């Protein structure tokens, strides 16, 4: 397949790009600028474009026509979205509108309706306190990030109804871990934050409450496999939704313990007052396992942390540069 990956300079996007190239697909990686592009697998075409600028999308050749698209370009920070809702809707909704518009031109030229896999989030469900959240649960996002993702989902569903794309929506939970050449650089997320403390780049990990809130984690390599399976399953005129997660709840305390075991270094922590948040947010991913044959063999917390430490360290991401003192890490 000729596959376009947006957001290819991001953590998940880079892994998806290389995984698709390894499977023999002709991959075009879209980044915002060439300076942000990681070293992709040999043969990957790299184009630069801002999804908010249709002229840049045209110059990058998006309208040439593709067999498949993995749309991962997005803004993703929940707390930040509350301070900048317009920015999040522009990036996550308007960017998707512009991408679909360019792809529609390509379909008109080539007659090929692409398989479109959209990277969504469990944030569309809202602040649910449940174990086993199914795809059938009515979405109720509680922040602009989740609301912008849900708006893009609904747009994509309507566009699929025209027959111009075949859509698959992947609602991921917490994607973590690493593969060779790609690790998560965002220290605002739980596992990178804990590794930053263990490696000496941060002073302390701040835990809200007792640290027993449960979340699930999926290895980025398993997540990439979900994109590959979804591309093969997309059918023009249809839109399918799948949760993607391990189904195993892990507490913050257990994450910190895993980082300590893997690194051989304790994760210094302090406990802060609790904040309103679900005590458990664990999805039901049985549907993608049954219908697409997807699995998550790498998604144990020990494997995720081991790979995050190993490959991040190999890439210089868990070394010990000058310490950043008094930097809050809130989870």
**Segment (H or E) for 188:** none
Tokens of 304: 């995720």
Look at residues 245, 239, 70, 242 and name the one whose alpha carbon lies nearest to residue 170: 242
- Respond yes or no: is residue 217 known to be catalytic: no
DSSP code of residue 36: G
Beta-carbon contacts of residue 57 (< 8 Å; ≥ 6 apart): 49, 51, 63, 98, 99, 102
Closest CA to 287 of 141, 133, 167: 133
What is the C-alpha separation between 79 and 88, in angstroms, rounded?
A: 11
> Residue 222 burial (CB < 10 Å; 0-12/13-18/19+)?
buried
DSSP 3-state of 124: helix
Q: What pairs with residue 143 in β-bridges?
A: none
Of 88, 145, 183, 217, which is the active-site residue? 145
- The CA distance from 72 to 84, in Å, is 20
Which are the catalytic amino acids?
145
């Amino acid at each position: 397949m000729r596959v376009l990956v947006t957001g290819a300079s991001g953590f998940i996007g880079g892994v998806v790009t290389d995984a698709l190239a390894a499977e023999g697909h002709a991959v075009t990686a879209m980044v915002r600028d060439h300076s942000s592009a990681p070293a992709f697998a040999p043969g990957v075409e790299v184009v630069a474009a801002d999804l908010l600028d249709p002229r840049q999308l045209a110059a990058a050749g998006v309208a040439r026509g593709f067999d498949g698209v993995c749309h991962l370009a997005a803004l993703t920070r929940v707390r930040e979205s509350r301070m900048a809702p317009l920015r999040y809707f522009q990036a996550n909704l308007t960017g998707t509108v512009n991408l679909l518009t360019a792809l529609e031109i390509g379909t008109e030229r080539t007659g090929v309706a692409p398989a479109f896999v959209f990277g969504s989030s469990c944030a569309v469900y809202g602040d649910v306190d449940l174990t086993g959240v199914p795809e059938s649960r009515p979405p109720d996002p509680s922040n602009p990030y989740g609301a912008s993702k849900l708006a893009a989902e609904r747009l994509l569903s309507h566009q699929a109804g025209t027959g111009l794309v075949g859509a698959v929506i992947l609602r991921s939970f917490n994607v973590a871990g690493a593969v060779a050449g790609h690790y998560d650089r965002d220290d605002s997320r739980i596992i990178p934050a804990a590794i930053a403390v263990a490696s000496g780049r941060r002073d302390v990990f701040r835990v809200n409450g007792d640290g027993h809130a449960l979340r699930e984690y999926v290895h980025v390599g398993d997540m990439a496999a979900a994109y590959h399976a979804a591309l093969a399953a997309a059918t023009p005129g249809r839109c399918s939704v799948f949760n993607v997660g391990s189904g195993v709840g892990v507490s913050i305390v257990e994450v910190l313990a895993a980082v300590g075991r893997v690194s051989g270094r304790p994760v210094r922590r302090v406990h802060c007052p609790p904040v309103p948040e679900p005590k458990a947010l664990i999805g039901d991913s049985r549907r993608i396992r049954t219908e697409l044959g997807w699995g998550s063999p790498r998604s144990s917390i020990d494997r995720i942390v081991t790979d995050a430490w190993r490959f991040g360290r190999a890439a210089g991401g868990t070394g010990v540069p000058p310490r950043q003192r008094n930097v809050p890490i809130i989870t």
